[in-house]
Amino acid sequence: MKSKALKILVGLSGGVDSAVAAFLLKKEGHEVSAVFMKNFSSRDNIDHECPWRKDQAEAQKVADFLGIKLETWDFEEQYRKTVVKYLFDTYQKGLTPNPDILCNSEIKFKLFLAKALLAGYDKIATGHYAQIIENKKGFHLLQGLDDNKDQSYFLSGLTQEQLSHSLFPLGKIKKPKVREMAKQAGLPNADRKDSQGICFVGKVNLKDFLQQEIPANPGNIVDLNGKIMGKHEGVIYYTPGQRKGINIGGGPALYVIRKNLAKNELVVGPKESIELYTKQIKVKNWHWLGQAHKFPIKAKGKIRYRQTDQALKIDKIGDNLYQITFKKDQFASAAGQTLAVYLKNELIASAIIID
């Protein structure tokens, strides 16, 4: 039985994934329109090429090819007040935020979704590699079929309301197949490279970006014994486990072990340093994507994007405080990052790492 045709608004980014998503939805017989979201434009005092104009032009080519209407919606002011401010504020505290998760929760699946529903659309669609299924217990967010491209982690802050009005047409397709489909369909951006960097900002040197609002505060880089190894421009520009950008030549590769804000010191050491590994972390701001489960919970999870799912146990140990015990040692857990929790391939919850 053919499913009911829906009025769908696709977020066209200019990339191949959202283009194929729009192509598939139109092929299924839905009434498809598209929007390009302008959320960030370059600032004069930062050396990077903000990609929004090129992305917008590519999105227009795709829309013209598919014969669908494309509008540009400007959320730049809201993006700066939420995502960019959160990025600066969190780094200023010495933490490591994940702006892409907030961008999805607050911009794509909040502002964009609300405006789409107000305009009379049934659903919004994006090119994310994730799946949504519905049953009597609600809407469930599943990992994408392509393990290498699964983006459910970035959607870990979504709610039932947001999931109920969203579509991810690429959830059951692997990336190579998406490329192949784009070429076979003749999509004008079939060979365009995937975007990289911060959500809507693009590829930019993080230190240069942060220095727009957070002034350099030079200090010493020291080893585990306190020996001075070099100089840094500001400890808040670094994150645990980071290797690139330390700029200490010679000898074995060094990794950021911790940031001592009180002494303004960056502590570094080899990858095998015991302080870089832990089996227990604490998290706060627990968020259920759907049905709540009773604690303690045995599940799987990840503390960063692209990490292999890790076996873990979750205990509630206080008001807005949870202890995560992993089966295996975890490398470079970073306060401020997001823990995503899975039962089998369903993302059931998320929380913010505090230590």
Best CA proximity match to 187, nearest among 10, 53, 58, 71: 58
* Given 83, 103, 332, 339, the catalytic residue: 103
What is the residue whose two structure tokens read 């469930």? 140
**Tens of pLDDT, residues 23-52:** 999 999 999 999 999 988 765 444 445 578
What is the residue whose two structure tokens read 């911060």? 198
Asked if residue 310 lies in contact with residue 328, where contact means CB atoms within 8 angstroms, the answer is: yes
Give the separation between CA 15 and CA 28, rounded to whole angstroms. Answer: 21
50 is catalytic: no
Q: Which residues of 168-190 are buried (b: 16+ CB within 10 A; e: fewer)?
A: bbbbebbbeebbebbeeeebbbb
* DSSP E strand stretches across 39-93: 70-74
**Tens of pLDDT, residues 134-188:** 999 999 999 999 999 999 999 999 999 999 999 999 999 999 999 999 999 999 9
Question: Facing residues of 131 across strands?
Answer: 142
Best CA proximity match to 106, nearest among 131, 88, 130, 85: 85
* Given 199, 221, 324, 332, the catalytic residue: 199
Best CA proximity match to 23, nearest among 72, 66, 56, 58: 66
The identity of residue 23, as a single letter, is: F
Structure tokens at 153: 């982690």
Best CA proximity match to 38, nearest among 26, 50, 24, 49: 50
E strand or H helix that includes residue 91: helix 85-92
Asked if residue 146 lies in contact with residue 174, where contact means CB atoms within 8 angstroms, the answer is: yes
Q: Give 53's pLDDT tier (boundaries 50, 70, 90).
A: confident
The identity of residue 123, as a single letter, is: K
**Tens of pLDDT, residues 307-347:** 999 999 999 999 999 999 999 999 999 999 999 999 999 99
Asked if residue 125 lies in contact with residue 9, where contact means CB atoms within 8 angstroms, the answer is: yes
